[in-house]
Amino acid sequence: MIWIALTVVALTLGAALLVLLLDNLLAAVAAASVVSLGVSVMFVILQAPDVAMTEAAVGAGLSSLILALALRRLGLIRLAVGGDAGNDDA
Nearest to 63 by CA among 38, 83, 84, 36: 36
5 phi, psi to nearest 5 deg: -60, -45
Residue 3 or 20: the one with the smaller Cβ distance to another protein is 20
The amino acid that residue 75 corresponds to is: G
* Shortest distance in whole angstroms from residue 59 CB to another protein: 10
Residue 22 or 58: the one with the smaller Cβ distance to another protein is 58
* Shortest distance in whole angstroms from residue 81 CB to another protein: 13
Where do contacts with another protein occur on this chain (CB under 8 A)? 49-50, 52-54, 57-58, 61-62, 65-66, 69-70, 73, 88, 90
Q: Specify the length of the chain in residues.
A: 90
